[in-house]
Amino acid sequence: MCWWRDWDVLVEGLGCAGGGTGMCCLGWGCSIPGVGESQALLQGPSPGGSHSCFSFVPGLGMDFLTLFLVYLCFVLLVTALLCLCSGRKESFLARNVTRASQVLSLVIPTQLQRVAHRVAHGALHRLFHTRSCLFVVLHIALQAAVFGEYTWEVFGYCWELQFHLLLLLLPYLLLAGNMGCFLLCSRANPGIITKSNHASLVKVYAYDGVMFQRGTVCPTCTMEKPARSKHCSVCGTCVHRFDHHCVWLNNCVGASNAAWFLLYLLSLTATATALAAITLSFLSHVVQLSNLLHSTYLDAQGQEHPVEIPFLVQHLFLTFPRIVFMLGFVILLTLVLGGYSAFSLYLAFTNQTTNEWCKSRRFGVSHHVSSHPPDRQVVYKNIYSKGVWRNLKEIFRPPTALERKKKT
């Protein structure tokens, strides 16, 4: 193995400029393990007019793309399951485990079923419905892995390519801001309702008579619920202007830390976007310098073909496997976080919480609420929205009972 750090040698290996060796250096290694008689040669114009050579395994490009798509789908599926399972008394995953156990009960002994049921439901309950630092540790570990790869390889290569220093330092600056928002949001009091502040919080928001009704008592806290509040079963407390319980923060998002959560989400999205953009820019520079787009290759039958996307992706993966996998994860993360950030901004602009948005989907088709006649259809109307700018101001400066009294 030849461990290169000289950029000229690496670029020469990528395109085999000056040709004639019969093998090209892919990244840091001088050969591809497992490449045998089924190799084909890549030919392309070099600066001196000669042809370059390239080692290629026929069919490996499509196999790699298939595996890479499976990898991306797996990460997306796990992310979707985590979102569906968090913060629900009867989660999507728990229901499907129950259904699967009913099917398997035909072939599995009864005693074994009971043991498996207790273990599975106990593990799911502890994982998603009790406060735990597991997802916080996973969150930090993923960030450490991504930034470790960025620092170890991408930063060094981009520095040799003379990328601007401020551009390369941008992800670290965004990471610092993101970690600050993360700590403030996870450690902050989200707006826990206690007996000492209950009287003042009841006066902050008006009851809409549909989603929030006067006189509703929390059976756990034995206090009247203020409008826009909800009891969190994970934390075991009622939270003022409850949005949702975030397992990644190990804390609820409420009136007191909603602004920090929005900034945390936006900074995390910006961090992932910056990492993806810099990494894509680096790989595009690699392709341009190695002159791969103007090359051709000979397949196993000796026919000449121009370099296509599957071949190019395979080559980049064989050259920079960790960078390509990191890029795939970061791109997927950018898409997921971008969508969630857009949804969170929509909620902020319209002065809604996630809890209220989910509940409002049920009204309009509901035909029975205690304060309305049974035969009258209930249509929910958001009475808390005061315009985009005032709604945003309320996120960053939550109203108090005194402020509301002055306005009225």
Looking at residue 226, the DSSP 8-state letter turns out to be P
3-state DSSP assignment of residue 404: helix
| Cross-strand partners of 298 | 304
Token pair listed for 15? 């395109």
Residue 321's pLDDT is what?
86
Residue type, 12: E
Going from the C-alpha of 271 to that of each of 164, 220, 225, 289, the distances in angstroms are: 17, 40, 38, 27
Token pair in block for residue 55: 């080692």
pLDDT of residue 402: 52
Residues 279 and 323 sit within 8 Å (Cβ to Cβ): yes
List phi, psi (to 5°) of 92.
-60, -45
Tokens of 288: 């341009």
Closest to 235 in 3D by CA, of 178, 196, 193: 193
Please give the pLDDT value at position 68.
65
The catalytic residues are 246
Q: What are the tokens at 240? A: 């003022």
Q: Which two tokens stand for residue 347?
A: 């909620």
Question: From its phi and psi, is residue 291 left (phi > 0), alpha (psi between -120 and 50) or beta?
Answer: left
**Cα–Cα distance between 344 and 351 in angstroms, integer?**
10
d(CA 333, CA 267): 13
Report the pLDDT value the prediction gives residue 164, as an integer from 0 to 100.
94
Please provide the DSSP assignment of 98-142 as one string.
HHHHHHHTTTS-HHHHHHHHHHHHHHHHHHHSS--SHHHHHHHHH
Asked whether the beta carbons of 278 and 172 are under 8 A apart, the reply is no
Tokens 């050579």, residue? 53
C-alpha distance across the termini of the chain, in Å: 76
pTM comes to 0.72
Which DSSP string corresponds to 58-95?
A: TTHHHHHHHHHHHHHHHHHHHHHHHHHHTT-SS-HHHH
Mean pLDDT estimate for the chain: 75
Map out the domains of the chain as residue ranges.
132-191+242-363+380-407
C-beta separation of 246 from 182 below 8 A: no
Q: What is the pLDDT of residues 377-392, one digit of tens each?
A: 566 788 999 999 999 9
Q: Of 164, 191, 198, 202, whose CA–CA distance to 253 is shortest?
A: 191
3-state SS, one letter per residue, for 242-295: CCEEECCCCEEECCCCHHHHHHHHHHHHHHHHHHHHHHHHHHHHHHHHHCHHHC
Which among 63, 60, 55, 52 has a CA at the least distance from the CA of 31?
55
Tokens 């804390």 label which residue? 251
Quote the CA–CA distance of 131 and 28 in Å, as a whole number: 45
DSSP secondary structure, 376-399, as one string: S-------S---HHHHHHHHHS--
Handedness of CA 201, 207, 212, 214 (dihedral sign): positive
Tokens of 30: 């001088």
Cα gap 258→344, rounded to integer Å: 10
User: By the 8 A CB rule, do 174 and 277 touch?
Assistant: no
d(CA 309, CA 39): 18
> For the packed helices 309-319 and 258-290, what is the interaxial angle rounded to 10 degrees?
100
Which residues of the chain register pLDDT less than 70?
1-69, 71-72, 75-76, 78-130, 297-299, 364-379, 401-408
